[in-house]
């Protein structure tokens, strides 16, 4: 009986002392976190993709709170949650949400098996990064898609898949959150995070080849040869620039007139999600075999 | 028998062309001189379209300290300066010369007489390094590191011996072997010049003992040079690696990067480089040609050719009986470290030590299987690394772990991949990891 009593008292005293020590330590070393960080963090998608440029969702939440204290949420955007989530965040922080246009990943290569013949075979490790280190890859184009799908492996949202017939990655626009992981994974920088455009309509140069025209032309049927015809057609809006033998359409300046698409002798410029042209115009466009990705289907659905 | 102490493998030697004497290859119709024939800054062209050049005319000057000038190896007219596909598999700047006749610059001494160092007592260390630098000589073993950089020790370090790499541990290649058999005297004078350039009194020539005739001949000729020792080495790949050779010959270990051989007092040069140094210093001949082994099991006539730089590989293959029908892969260099070529129009460069034509069966890689944790790669790695781990962390992009496990020490010899029973592409992934980690380290040091 005595032994039990001693044990109970001893343990009780140890417990009491420890709890006091813990109580003081928890007060002394308490980390004061802004409660708003947790609130903001709760409304974020918790994908931890890093698309916002911060390390995970909690990092982004902390940055938002800090920005709100500084006065503006300008430049803070969760690409996964998009505008609705940013409005919620702004609500918590008592700020006005900054309007942002939705973006989407665009694969700027149309070097399908048909357009771009293979002149070599790579049978090393199945990875774009490894293939890039060997030089040109399997085709004569040193800028086009390598086709091993590093981008597909990196997509956390299941928005990318490899098309077996073309050998190119396909973006599912509904699933794509424009987090940019695929763009970073591509060793050739083919994937661009671009403005989605009104109703998802946009005009893009689907080529990344910076070689001289003759070389680019030989490598791929759908390559940009840097002829500059599109630049001339766009002299009113000046949305197209030609640099290093490659045309680039500025999405913010583009007025979607699609004149450049008609002007391109190689069919390298593509219009996404537009309704089908009138029959007369259709004849003038380049062979429809080069129609990339989900160009045709969604527009028909509309 | 001496050799290095950690790892190593022994691939089938296949020295098919060992018995074939060096012969001169025909002149090309058009020679292409890539501006990227060495490690370091690319050379800058100094000629223009339409300029008339002779053999030995300067085409491009060095683009920096770690760089080398490029000389024309043919006479003719500059056709254009344009980007062409080279052995790296990418399109890069090159000077293209249309060949007309074969006129040499008058300053080049083309006689076969051997000039020894004792005949030219006025040569001092500085003049020798200057001449080597101006002749555009780079490491001819394949790494193409500008030679004069190695001969200019950084302040605070002092060399005490010169080691000549005559190992030729790559299977199939015999260019260095034939060079030793046919030009032993010139090589020894070259070694003497390198020793003089770095002010040391001891020189070693390391030769693997699968070349007994070369060891015998070199030992006999070296009797006149009491400071030069011929060291016979056990056959083991990658003995030709700089660090492995130092370990094998003088038993010193070079620490992990950024340490370099000079930190343990050794200067290593390839035997072909020694020959080129002899020609540059004694004969005033810039680096315009080199010996290249064209070989392969199906090649009609495996040969060692003395070919002009800038010659397209197609021409060299024609010299050896044409392209065999069953060719599956063409490799620039040896089978272990060489790189597959995309086209036969690719021109020969300063680093082209061999051209290997593999048949379809040899060329195909086997399907990779899961790692069975046998640790054969760990046993084979001459740098004492863990290739299975490095390849895995590279695939997972764990760069910090890769750096902690010394991925930058990898010499990319391929012993791990060669020995792997599961045919895993170990080196492929390690290369990706090594390049990335080196980039990270570079950006970190430039920031701080």
Residue B6 resides in a domain:
no
Same domain as A138, residue A285: yes
Burial code (b: 16+ CB inside 10 Å, e: under 16) for B137-153 equals: bbbbbbbbbbbbbbbbb
Residue B5 resides in a domain:
no
Which chain A residues are Cβ-neighbours of B425 within 8 angstroms?
A: 124-125, 130
Task: State which residue of chain B sits closest to A131, comparing Cα positions.
Answer: B428
Instruction: Report how many domains make up chain B.
Output: 3
Same domain as B262, residue B145: yes
Q: Which structural domain, as residue segments, surrounds residue A255?
A: 103-301
Same domain as A41, residue A60: yes
User: From first to last of its 302 residues, what are the pLDDT tens digits of chain A?
Assistant: 789 999 999 999 999 999 999 999 999 998 888 888 888 989 998 888 888 888 889 899 999 888 888 888 877 888 888 888 888 888 888 887 777 788 899 999 999 988 998 888 888 888 999 999 888 888 888 899 999 999 999 998 899 999 999 989 999 998 888 888 899 999 999 999 998 888 888 999 999 999 888 889 989 999 999 999 999 998 888 899 999 899 999 988 898 888 899 899 998 999 988 888 776 544 444 444 444 444 444 443 33
d(CA B433, CA A63): 32
Same domain as B383, residue B311: no
Q: Which of A125, A143, A214 to mutate to test binding with chain B, by most B CBs within 10 Å of its CB? A: A125
Tell me how many helices (H) and strands (E) chain A has.
12, 8
d(CA A25, CA A23): 6
Same domain as A89, residue A110: no
Which chain A residues are Cβ-neighbours of B399 within 8 angstroms?
A: none
Residue B435 and residue A133: Cβ atoms within 8 Å?
yes
Which chain B residues are Cβ-neighbours of A154 within 8 angstroms?
A: none
Q: How deeply is A50 buried, as exposed, middle or buried, from its count of CB atoms within 10 A (0-12, 13-18, 19+)?
A: middle
Same domain as A179, residue A74: no
Same domain as A87, residue A57: yes
DSSP state of A168: S
Residue A284 resides in a domain:
yes
Same domain as A107, residue A221: yes
**Residue finishing a domain among A93, A118, A141:** A93
Task: State which residue of chain B sits closest to A210, comparing Cα positions.
Answer: B91
* Model pLDDT, residue B182: 94
Asked if the C-beta of A13 comes within 8 angstroms of chain B's C-beta atoms, the answer is: no
Structure token pair of residue B275: 């020959």
Asked if omega into B213 is within 30° of 0 (cis), the reply is no
* Model pLDDT, residue B364: 87
CA distance B394 to chain A (A): 11
**Residue finishing a domain among B331, B360, B389:** B360
Residue A6 resides in a domain:
no
Q: Which structural domain, as residue segments, surrounds residue B254?
A: 117-283
Asked if omega into A71 is within 30° of 0 (cis), the reply is no
Same domain as A264, residue A145: yes
Task: State which residue of chain A sits closest to B369, comparing Cα positions.
Answer: A125
Which chain A residues are Cβ-neighbours of B395 within 8 angstroms?
A: 127
Same domain as B161, residue B189: yes
Residue B13 resides in a domain:
no
Which chain B residues are Cβ-neighbours of A133 within 8 angstroms?
A: 431-432, 435
CATH number of the structural domain spanning residue A62 = 1.10.15
Which chain B residues are Cβ-neighbours of A142 within 8 angstroms?
A: 90-91
Task: State which residue of chain B sits closest to A212, comparing Cα positions.
Answer: B83
Same domain as B208, residue B74: no
Instruction: Report how many domains make up chain A.
Output: 2
| B306 beta partners | B24, B291
Q: Which of B81, B425, B433, B437 to mutate to test binding with chain A, by most A CBs within 10 Å of its CB? A: B425
Residue B90 and residue A142: Cβ atoms within 8 Å?
yes
Residue A133 and residue B431: Cβ atoms within 8 Å?
yes
CA distance A211 to chain B (A): 9
Q: Which of B91, B367, B390 to mutate to test binding with chain A, by most A CBs within 10 Å of its CB? A: B91
Residue B331 resides in a domain:
yes
Vertex A152 angle, CA A146 and A153, to 5°? 105
Pairing of strands A160-162, B30-34: unpaired
CATH number of the structural domain spanning residue A107 = 3.30.70.20
Residue B428 and residue A123: Cβ atoms within 8 Å?
no
Residue B185 resides in a domain:
yes
Which chain A residues are Cβ-neighbours of B432 within 8 angstroms?
A: 127, 129-130, 133
- pLDDT per residue over A221-270, tens digit each? 999 999 999 999 988 888 999 998 999 999 888 988 888 998 999 989 99
Those residues of chain B that have pLDDT short of 70 are none
Same domain as B126, residue B275: yes
Q: How deeply is A128 buried, as exposed, middle or buried, from its count of CB atoms within 10 A (0-12, 13-18, 19+)?
A: buried
Which chain A residues are Cβ-neighbours of B86 within 8 angstroms?
A: none
Q: How many CB pairs under 8 A join A and B?
A: 43
Residue A4 resides in a domain:
no
Residue that is written with structure tokens 């500084």 in the block: A70
Residue B398 resides in a domain:
yes
**Residue finishing a domain among B295, B327, B360:** B360
- pLDDT per residue over B185-224, tens digit each? 999 999 999 999 999 999 999 999 999 999 999 999 999 9
Same domain as A108, residue A89: no
Same domain as A234, residue A116: yes
Vertex B139 angle, CA B136 and B142, to 5°? 120
Closest C-alpha to B109, from B125, B131, B126: B131
Of the candidates B83, B89, B435, the beta carbon closest to that of A134 is on B89
Asked if the C-beta of A135 comes within 8 angstroms of chain B's C-beta atoms, the answer is: yes
Same domain as A131, residue A59: no
Residue B442 resides in a domain:
yes
Residue B155 resides in a domain:
yes
Same domain as A226, residue A173: yes
d(CA B42, CA B28): 24
Of the candidates B88, B432, B435, the beta carbon closest to that of A135 is on B88
Residue B365 and residue A124: Cβ atoms within 8 Å?
yes
**Which pTM was predicted?**
0.84
Same domain as B176, residue B278: yes
* Model pLDDT, residue A290: 45
Same domain as A249, residue A278: yes
Which chain A residues are Cβ-neighbours of B435 within 8 angstroms?
A: 133
Same domain as B251, residue B122: yes
| A139 beta partners | A118
CA distance B365 to chain A (A): 7
Residue B340 and residue A136: Cβ atoms within 8 Å?
no
Same domain as B300, residue B208: no
* Model pLDDT, residue A285: 46
Residue B395 and residue A127: Cβ atoms within 8 Å?
yes
DSSP structure string for B121-156:
TT--HHHHHHHHHHTT-B-TTTT--BHHHHTSPPTT
Asked if the C-beta of A215 comes within 8 angstroms of chain B's C-beta atoms, the answer is: yes
Residue A125 and residue B85: Cβ atoms within 8 Å?
no
Which chain B residues are Cβ-neighbours of A120 within 8 angstroms?
A: 342
Asked if the C-beta of A265 comes within 8 angstroms of chain B's C-beta atoms, the answer is: no
Which chain A residues are Cβ-neighbours of B93 within 8 angstroms?
A: none
Residue B89 and residue A135: Cβ atoms within 8 Å?
yes
HSE value, Cβ hemisphere, 13 Å, CA-based, for A130: 18
Same domain as B41, residue B143: no
Contact between B197 and B132 under an 8 Å Cβ cutoff? The reply is yes
Which chain B residues are Cβ-neighbours of A215 within 8 angstroms?
A: 83, 91
Which chain B residues are Cβ-neighbours of A130 within 8 angstroms?
A: 425, 428-429, 431-432
Asked if the C-beta of A257 comes within 8 angstroms of chain B's C-beta atoms, the answer is: no
Closest C-alpha to A173, from A189, A203, A151, A195: A195
Same domain as B126, residue B273: yes
d(CA A205, CA A254): 12
Contact between B342 and A136 under an 8 Å Cβ cutoff? The reply is yes
* Model pLDDT, residue A280: 55
Same domain as B125, residue B249: yes
Residue A9 resides in a domain:
no
The chain B residues in contact with chain A (CB within 8 A) are: 83, 85, 88-91, 339-340, 342, 364-365, 368, 395, 425, 428-429, 431-432, 435
CA distance A196 to chain B (A): 30
């Amino acid at each position: 009986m005595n032994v039990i009593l001693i044990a109970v008292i001893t343990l009780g005293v140890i417990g009491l002392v420890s709890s006091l020590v813990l109580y003081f330590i928890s007060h002394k070393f308490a980390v004061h976190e802004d409660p708003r960080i947790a609130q903001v963090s709760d409304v974020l998608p918790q994908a931890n993709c890093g698309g916002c440029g911060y390390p995970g969702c909690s990092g982004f939440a902390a940055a938002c709170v800090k920005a709100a204290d500084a006065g503006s949420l300008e430049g803070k955007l969760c690409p996964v949650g998009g505008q609705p989530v940013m409005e919620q965040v702004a609500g918590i922080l008592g700020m006005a949400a900054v309007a942002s246009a939705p973006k989407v990943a665009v694969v700027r290569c149309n070097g399908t098996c048909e357009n771009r013949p293979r002149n070599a075979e790579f049978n090393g490790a199945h990875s774009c990064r490894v293939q890039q280190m060997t030089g040109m890859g399997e085709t004569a184009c040193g800028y086009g898609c390598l086709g091993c799908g590093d981008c597909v492996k990196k997509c956390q949202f299941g928005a990318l898949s490899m098309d077996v017939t073309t050998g190119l990655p396909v973006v599912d626009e509904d699933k794509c959150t424009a987090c940019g992981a695929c763009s970073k994974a591509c060793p050739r920088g083919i994937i661009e995070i671009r403005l989605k455009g009104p109703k998802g309509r946009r005009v893009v140069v689907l080529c990344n080849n910076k070689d001289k025209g003759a070389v680019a032309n030989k490598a791929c049927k759908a390559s940009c040869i840097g002829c500059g015809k599109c630049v001339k057609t766009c002299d009113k809006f000046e949305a197209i620039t030609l640099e290093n033998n490659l045309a680039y359409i500025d999405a913010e300046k583009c007025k979607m007139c699609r004149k450049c698409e008609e002007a391109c002798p190689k069919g390298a410029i593509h219009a996404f999600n537009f309704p089908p042209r009138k029959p007369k115009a259709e004849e003038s466009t380049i062979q429809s075999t080069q129609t990339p990705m989900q160009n045709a289907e969604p527009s028909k659905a509309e | 028998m001496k050799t290095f102490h950690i790892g190593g493998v022994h691939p089938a030697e296949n020295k098919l062309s060992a018995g074939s004497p060096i012969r001169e290859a025909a002149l090309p119709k058009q020679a292409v001189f890539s501006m990227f024939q060495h490690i370091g800054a690319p050379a800058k062209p100094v000629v223009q379209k339409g300029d008339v050049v002779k053999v030995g005319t300067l085409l491009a000057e060095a683009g920096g300290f770690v760089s080398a000038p490029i000389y024309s190896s043919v006479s003719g007219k500059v056709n254009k300066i344009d980007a062409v596909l080279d052995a790296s598999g990418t399109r890069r700047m090159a000077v293209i010369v249309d060949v007309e006749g074969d006129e040499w610059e008058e300053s080049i001494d083309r006689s076969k007489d051997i000039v020894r160092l004792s005949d030219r007592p006025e040569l001092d260390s500085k003049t020798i390094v200057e001449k080597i630098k101006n002749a555009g000589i780079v490491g001819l073993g394949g790494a193409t590191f500008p030679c004069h950089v190695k001969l200019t020790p950084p302040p605070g370090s002092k060399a005490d011996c010169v080691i000549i790499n005559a190992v030729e541990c790559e299977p199939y290649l015999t260019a260095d072997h034939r060079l030793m058999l046919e030009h032993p005297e010139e090589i020894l004078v070259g070694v003497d010049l390198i020793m003089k350039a770095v002010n040391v009194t001891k020189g070693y020539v390391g030769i693997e003992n699968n070349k007994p005739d070369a060891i015998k001949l070199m030992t006999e000729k070296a009797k006149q040079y009491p400071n030069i020792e011929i060291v016979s080495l056990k056959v083991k790949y990658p003995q030709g690696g700089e660090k492995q050779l130092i370990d094998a010959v003088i038993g010193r270990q070079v620490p992990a990067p950024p340490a370099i051989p000079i930190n343990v007092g050794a200067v290593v040069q390839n035997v072909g480089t020694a020959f080129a140094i002899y020609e540059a210093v004694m004969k005033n001949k810039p680096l315009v040609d080199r010996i290249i082994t064209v070989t392969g099991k199906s090649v009609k006539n495996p040969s060692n050719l003395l070919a002009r730089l800038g010659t397209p590989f197609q021409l060299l293959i024609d010299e050896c009986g044409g392209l065999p029908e069953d060719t599956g892969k063409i490799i620039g260099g040896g089978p272990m470290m060489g790189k597959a070529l995309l086209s036969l129009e690719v021109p020969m460069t300063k680093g082209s030590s061999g051209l290997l034509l593999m048949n379809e069966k040899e060329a195909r890689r086997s399907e990779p299987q899961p790692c069975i944790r046998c640790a054969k790669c760990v046993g084979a790695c001459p740098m004492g690394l863990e290739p299975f781990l490095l390849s895995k962390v590279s695939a997972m992009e764990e760069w910090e772990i890769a750096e902690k496990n010394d991925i930058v020490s990898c010499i990319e010899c391929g012993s791990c991949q060669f020995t792997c029973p599961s045919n895993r592409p170990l080196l492929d992934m390690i290369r990706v990891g090594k390049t990335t980690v080196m980039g990270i380290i570079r950006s970190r040091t430039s920031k701080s």
